[in-house]
């Protein structure tokens, strides 16, 4: 059984994961408008992953004897004018999410809630992957600068990203 505090922190994390999905959906729309279908696909896959993150925590809350409370999801920021700015903002956002996950782990350890700590370790690993993936694309965009040919090559590369649904028992 999770504590009330842990329960609320997990509910807040569900909200953050849905916000991530919403933020990335906005990025997908931007790239669709730019006819950069590969970049749009990259964020379409990311939106699906974020929804999975939210649902994984949503399911855990009930499983661990807690109560789900759905908080309001804010309108996402939309002040960006280039692919590079979008990936800078994505990296910054994922770094914030990592901090939030670490805070959850700190709380689980402080409460000696080893069940929740073990559950959260999946997210700790996932955040390392998220930051690395985004950083890699950002570095390529920094190399590309304003070369449209190179940008289209990266767009073609990002078109190959495929969403893998998680195994049923893990969501
Ligand atoms: Fe996430
Ligand atoms: Fe991921």
**Which CATH number fits the domain that encloses residue 137?**
1.20.1260.10
Q: Is the residue at 152 inside a domain? A: yes
Report whether pLDDT(4) > 70: yes
Segments forming the whole domain that contains residue 93: 4-71+81-166
Residues 112-127: tens digit of each pLDDT: 999 999 999 999 999 9
- Is pLDDT larger for residue 156 or for residue 167? 156
Report whether pLDDT(110) > 70: yes
Residues 18-37: tens digit of each pLDDT: 999 999 999 999 999 999 99
Tokens 């402080």 sit on residue: 110
Task: Find the ligand nearest to 53 CA.
Answer: 1
Q: Is the residue at 48 inside a domain? A: yes
- Measure 35 CA to ligand 1 centroid, in angstroms: 26
Residue 116: CB atoms within 10 A of its CB come to 24
Q: Is the residue at 13 inside a domain? A: yes
Q: Is the residue at 39 inside a domain? A: yes
Q: Is the residue at 171 inside a domain? A: no
pLDDT band for position 166 (cuts 50, 70, 90)? confident
Which 8-state DSSP code applies to residue 170? G
pLDDT band for position 50 (cuts 50, 70, 90)? very high
CA gyration radius for the chain? 17
Residues placed in the known binding site for Fe cation: 17, 50, 53, 94, 127
Q: Is the residue at 44 inside a domain? A: yes
pLDDT band for position 167 (cuts 50, 70, 90)? confident
Q: Is the residue at 21 inside a domain? A: yes
State the pLDDT at residue 129. Answer: 96
Q: Is the residue at 76 inside a domain? A: no
CA distance 140 to 87: 10
- Measure 53 CA to ligand 1 centroid, in angstroms: 5
Domains held by the chain: number: 1
State the pLDDT at residue 171. Answer: 61
């Amino acid at each position: 059984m999770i504590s009330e505090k842990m329960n609320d922190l997990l509910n807040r994390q569900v909200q953050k994961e849905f916000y991530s999905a919403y933020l990335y959906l906005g990025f997908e729309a931007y790239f669709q408008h730019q006819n950069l279908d590969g970049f749009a696909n990259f964020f379409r896959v990311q939106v699906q992953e974020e929804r999975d993150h939210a649902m994984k925590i949503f399911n855990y809350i009930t499983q661990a004897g807690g109560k789900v409370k759905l908080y309001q999801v804010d309108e996402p920021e939309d002040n960006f004018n280039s692919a590079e700015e979008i990936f800078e903002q994505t990296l910054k956002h994922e770094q914030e999410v990592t901090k939030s996950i670490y805070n959850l782990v700190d709380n689980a350890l402080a409460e000696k809630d080893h069940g929740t700590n073990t559950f959260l370790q999946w997210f700790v690993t996932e955040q390392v992957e998220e930051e690395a993936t985004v950083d890699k694309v950002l570095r390529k965009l920094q190399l590309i600068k304003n070369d449209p040919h190179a940008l289209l090559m990266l767009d073609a590369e990002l078109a190959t990203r495929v969403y893998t649904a998680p195994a049923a028992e893990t969501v």
